[in-house]
Structure 1
Amino acid sequence: MIDTHVHFWNYDPLRDNWITEDMYAIRKDFTPKNLMRVFNDLQISGCVAVQANQSEEENNFLLSLAEQSDLIKGIVGWIDLQNPNLEERLNYWSFFKSIKGWRHVLQAENEAFILNKDFINGIRKLKSYNYTYDLLVYHDQLTHLIKLVDQIPDQPFILDHCGKPNIKSGEIKDWTANIKILAQNPNVHCKVSGLLAEADWKNWTEAELFKIFDIIFENFGVKRVLYGSDWPVVLISRPYSDWFNLISKYAERFTTEERSLLFGGNAKAFYSL
């Protein structure tokens, strides 16, 4: 089994100012050593480490961790897609085979950035290097994302955290409509990850999470959905095992082969692990 969405960091209160005071559980360092016991207990063989800092130095940090731990099966790094020397940078990073794809924190950007011509042209260059691209947005940015994805139909994309539906408010009508449109693009996959952060951290219910799962699996299908935890962010709500067990319970309705795809097969295929 593969967890497709894990972060590691040496906590820096200035750089990591997105980690607010109420997220006290994650205001510290996290390394692969912190995951070994829970992965062993749950029989998870490895993870995809996803960038948490927007710099190329983050790539070096994750590569150094991957050299030290075989838990890291692949890396989603960061690169400036609007850099005039992008081709040179992509060629440089292509020698590091652990890097499977890239991500920018689009949830912090506006429509003008997401649909910027240079940004889109940067994504277009990824396919020739067999790179994937992770899409991180809030539910109210999905309309911009649809316009972006429509322009690059041959690029392998993956939607992080199901597009961050507003679970806490229960207002998911627009999110549902946009997920249906986005999922019509066969090149777009989806991670069931990060949802506890979008719910009431301490008082979410299984029913409201299963409702989100229903919509994701109905539209993307089991073959385009990948398991992820968003560890350590998940810890602001529950221990890792609670999230894993929740998805495992939902997946009891699937066949053995489908569960195998959700928890590992799809990850290996999408990220070329």
Structure 2
Amino acid sequence: MLIDTHAHLWDTGVLDYPWLAEADTLPKVFLPADLREGDREKTRFVFVQADCLASQGLEEARWVADRGADDLAGIVAFAPLETAAVTADLAALDAVPGVVGIRRLLQDADEELLDSPDLDAGLEAVSARGWTFDACIHWQQLSALTRLAARHEGLPIVLDHLGKPPLDSDDTQTFALWRSQLADLASLPHVFLKLSGLPAETVSEPTAGALGPWLRAAFDLFGPDRSMLGSDYPVSRRRGMVRADWFDLVASALGASAAEWAQVREHTARAVYRLDLD
């Protein structure tokens, strides 16, 4: 089995996604059947919240659970973790079948939020439920995320998209700075890595040659036991690529052994998200 740990679904006729209004290349409706297009093997997926209005996070999780997709492995839902209502919000999400984690986007947040006691309290509430936290940041926030993660040793934290590195930079010093900061984060054993999302972060052709150095550097830091696959589809769908093409690209770039690849494509995800799959 292959587990895609980062897939999105949405229907703008059901929920509101303001960011999609300006994303002309993305569909306004994307359902499980669309995600499966081009699959070449049995694939299960973890849905990750798709940035609908904050007030609709619970409704989004319920909508995904109600799709009845046999290949849905789990739901990483949205909750405004820094608010006073976090306990009630998480309790409501706990009643939704399949919720295994929370993502509150941090990529546009300043360091004040990442260092705030209010966010810390919300993350502790996530940890108390045995869930994970997906961290979606830009690479310049890696140091702030490392500080945050160090305060929450009992919470599995999953770094989305390699921390959105500067893929279009040909400056070796910039690459080295990203790698150094990623190494600091990787030194914390409760932090995990998604090999995901890079096609959406580059204007260049997403090939194994172009993206390989970034993927391999991150994989070398985290290792197979803390790395997992994610398609980030449809956000990272480029020039007719299907998600199976992305998985093949990652496999080619990593050059992993059979045992390492089995860990990355399935077993890390099962362990980190505590997935109960047949």
TM-score (norm 1): 0.90
The residue aligned with 1:239 is 241
Instruction: Output the amino acid matched with 1:166.
Output: P
Secondary structure of residue in 1 paired with 2:140 = helix
The residue aligned with 1:146 is 146
Structure 1 residue 46: deviation in Å?
Answer: 1.2
1:210 & 1:224 partners in 2: Cα distance? 18
TM-score (norm 2): 0.89
Instruction: Output the amino acid matched with 2:62.
Output: L
Instruction: Output the amino acid matched with 1:198.
Output: E
8 Å contact kept, 1:197–1:237: no
Instruction: Output the amino acid matched with 1:158.
Output: V
8 Å contact kept, 1:51–1:76: yes
1:184 & 1:47 partners in 2: Cα distance? 28
8 Å contact kept, 1:25–1:236: no
8 Å contact kept, 2:209–2:253: no
1:238 & 1:209 partners in 2: Cα distance? 18
8 Å contact kept, 1:5–1:49: yes
8 Å contact kept, 2:18–2:53: no
The residue aligned with 2:58 is 59
Deviations 1:165-220 (A, max 9, x none): 0101233222111100000000000000001111224x344223110112111110
Report percent identity of matched pairs.
Answer: 28
The residue aligned with 1:106 is 106
The residue aligned with 1:79 is 79
Structure 1 residue 24: deviation in Å?
Answer: 2.8
8 Å contact kept, 2:208–2:252: no
8 Å contact kept, 1:77–1:99: yes
Change (3 A) 1:268 1:82: same
Structure 1 residue 237: deviation in Å?
Answer: 4.9
Deviations 1:219-265 (A, max 9, x none): 101110010000001124551233122012234x3222211111111
- RMSD of aligned Cα (Å): 2.0
How many residue pairs match? The answer is: 267
2:149 & 2:159 partners in 1: Cα distance? 11
Unpaired segments ≥5 residues, structure 1: none
1:160 & 1:135 partners in 2: Cα distance? 6
2:115 & 2:34 partners in 1: Cα distance? 38
1:197 pairs with 2:200: yes
